[in-house]
Amino acid sequence: MSVLIFVDQTENHIKKSSFEVLTYGVKLAAQIGTTAEALVLGTVNDDLAALGKYGVTKVHQVANETLNHVDTQLYAKVIAEAATATAATVIVMSHNQTGKAIAARVSARLKAGLVTAAIALPDTSTSFTVKRAVFSGKAFANVSIATAIKVISLNPNSFHVSIGEGTAAVLALNVAVDTSKIIVKAVHKVSGEVPLTEADIVVSAGRGLKGPENWGMIEELAHELHAAKACSRPVADSDWRPHHEHVGQTGVQIAPNLYIAIGISGAIQHLAGVNRSKVIVVINKDPEAPFFKAADYGIVGDAFEVVPQLTAEIKKMHNS
């Protein structure tokens, strides 16, 4: 009996969302009186023993290069087999792009109850009840899992990461990795950009910018902050910006530490994709813009005046 924490990687490095899941899994294991162990798929260049700092005692690795690329069916099969091999009773992963695609598959393979988008540790006093976000974070549901094996995916930015001391034992896990039905022939990446779903800081702009020719100041601010760029849906629909930058209910859903929204009204469909950001800064010339209600900090002003001044101040800070 143990809690198995799936530690997600990209380009041979552990994803930051995994650190939060590690903390969650370790606290959950302590709560139910068992051990927490991590599972890493593929080859990883980071020091896996250092994951002990998050409280796991063992890191199981299936170091097969086929697993360096996410193939949801193969991942689900390997994770389910790893869970069985390690006698895990709870499997925890992030509710990120990968987790969204594999959590249900893992639960089906293990005949396990599943709670996705969890936002808190389960209440295990009388049952195993997990709080999750529903309706794009507008409401909460408490879901009880009655099966012996349980799968939980954790909403990013729901849990504070705790780091301590410790070293984990890194163990090779012998799980058969079938030849995938999917063959990765090439990987095309948007070069030189911070990936939106992994970014700590996101600079986003909307129709208030009037046209694509005005995005230079957004790019400059994003560059200074080492931030990813995003936009509202009408901006992508009008081809001012590429569709992979569109955030919201029908676009990419993100949870950065800092989201800067410039010339975006704050429609509910936009907020649905960004309201899990830790800190929201809104720049809008209309003091009545709905986005200010969701903001931690607001600047009422013309973006064409505010943004260049903000960038200049940040540049000064970097140079001092």
Which residues of this protein are in contact with ligand FAD, per CB under 6 A?
Answer: 206-208, 232-235, 248-251, 263-265, 267, 269-270, 273, 283-286, 289, 302-304
Closest to ligand FAD by CB, 155 vs 265, is 265
Minimum Å gap between C-beta 154 and ligand FAD is 23
Gap between the Cα atoms of 245 and 252, Å rounded: 7
Structure tokens at 76: 């689900």
CA 106 to chain centre: 19
> Shortest CA distance to 1 belongs to which of 101, 71, 78, 86?
86
Minimum Å gap between C-beta 268 and ligand FAD is 7
Minimum Å gap between C-beta 138 and ligand FAD is 15
Closest to ligand FAD by CB, 134 vs 148, is 134
Helix H or strand E segment including 24: helix 16-32
Gap between the Cα atoms of 303 and 285, Å rounded: 7
Closest to ligand FAD by CB, 86 vs 96, is 96
- Cβ count near 114 (within 10 Å): 21
Location of structure tokens 């002003």 = 301
Gap between the Cα atoms of 296 and 304, Å rounded: 21
Closest to ligand FAD by CB, 85 vs 304, is 304
Minimum Å gap between C-beta 256 and ligand FAD is 16
Minimum Å gap between C-beta 209 and ligand FAD is 7
Closest to ligand FAD by CB, 129 vs 136, is 136
